[in-house]
Amino acid sequence: MDTVRARLDLAYDGTFFHGWAAQPGLRTVEGELVRALSLIARQEVAVTVAGRTDAGVHADHQVAHVDLPAQVWDSLPGRSSRTPEDALVDRLASLLTRAHGDFMKAHGLVSPRGYCDVALLSSHRVPETFDARFSAVGRHYVYRLLDQRADSDPFSGRRIWTVPARQTLNLEAMAEAASSVIGEHDFLSFCKPREGATTIRTLRQLDVVAAGETSPILVRVHADAFCHSMVRSLVGALIDVGTGRRSPAWMRHLLDERSREAAAPLAPAHGLTLAHVDYPPADQWAQRAQQTRAVRSLGCC
């Protein structure tokens, strides 16, 4: 059967989701998206995502792809003058918004009319050489922290974690600790390993930024890929340094331990947001995907 591969760029509020990955009986981003796409395609479809997020984690820019029957793709605009790409976004938005409303009503919750916690930013027809997961070359996350210096913002509380007792974080100590773990390392002490997979990753950026005297502190993280809970563990360790519970040198010591017995503490999920996914130029998608698959087949990621 002829198919069309569509790239989906989306954002979501993770508050009422049990993470990205579909799980029986639980509301997940993948589950909602697959359900809507399957209604449009009138058959079961599968979605591939750049990076699975944990329960409660948000995304400003996530990327996925789906293969739809060519006949379904061509029929998406109906009698309108829209492109199939625009029609797919419109139809998904309608189905997802309706499903969100049903969920909120069933749980006695209220949200603005027409609001949905998943937003389709765009869709694009792409060649089969594009793979949302394996073609990616980097993922960027941002963790937002509120300490004693910053003003509380009740409208952003879902996306910012407040430091206990509103302590003032030592940003210089956090920056020193962060710089000590940049590079390619075995991050076992900062990961929940999966069977048969390595915990070696290349951490390209880990910095702590004070956007302003009354603004949240941002921890910006960038790597080729991340192990399960790696970002939250890195942030959790930095918070222990920032509050003075640990010295800056402890973070490197923890890394070198490469042990789950000395695992880093986890920062709460709701402060974390997937900010962006990097891809190479289109003519390198296939090569990158092939390289990544080869590494995965060796149990390396």
Instruction: Report CA dihedral (121, 125, 126, 131) to the nearest 10 degrees.
Output: 50
pLDDT digits (tens, 9 = 90+) for 108-123: 998 888 899 999 999 9
What letter would DSSP give residue 156?
S
Q: What distance in Å separates the CA atoms of residue 200 and residue 226, rounded to the nearest whole number?
A: 9
- Ligand-binding annotation for 143, yes or no, is no
The residues annotated with a catalytic role in the active site are 54
What letter would DSSP give residue 210?
E
What letter would DSSP give residue 17?
-
Q: Are 133 and 48 in contact (CB under 8 A)?
A: yes
The pTM assigned to this predicted structure is: 0.93
The confidence band for 155, taking pLDDT boundaries of 50, 70 and 90, is: low
Q: What distance in Å separates the CA atoms of residue 146 and residue 94, rounded to the nearest whole number?
A: 35
pLDDT digits (tens, 9 = 90+) for 29-48: 999 999 999 999 999 999 99
Within 8 A by CB and 6+ apart from 102, the residues are none
pLDDT score for 300: 38
Q: 3-class DSSP state for residue 196?
A: coil
The sign one gets for the Cα dihedral 146, 147, 153, 155 is positive
Q: Buried b / exposed e across 277-298, counting CB within 10 Å, b at 16+?
A: bebeeeeebbebbeebeeeeee
pLDDT score for 194: 80
The candidate with the shortest Cα–Cα distance to 181, out of 123, 126, 135, 248, is: 248
pLDDT digits (tens, 9 = 90+) for 273-282: 999 999 999 9
pLDDT digits (tens, 9 = 90+) for 251-262: 999 999 998 888
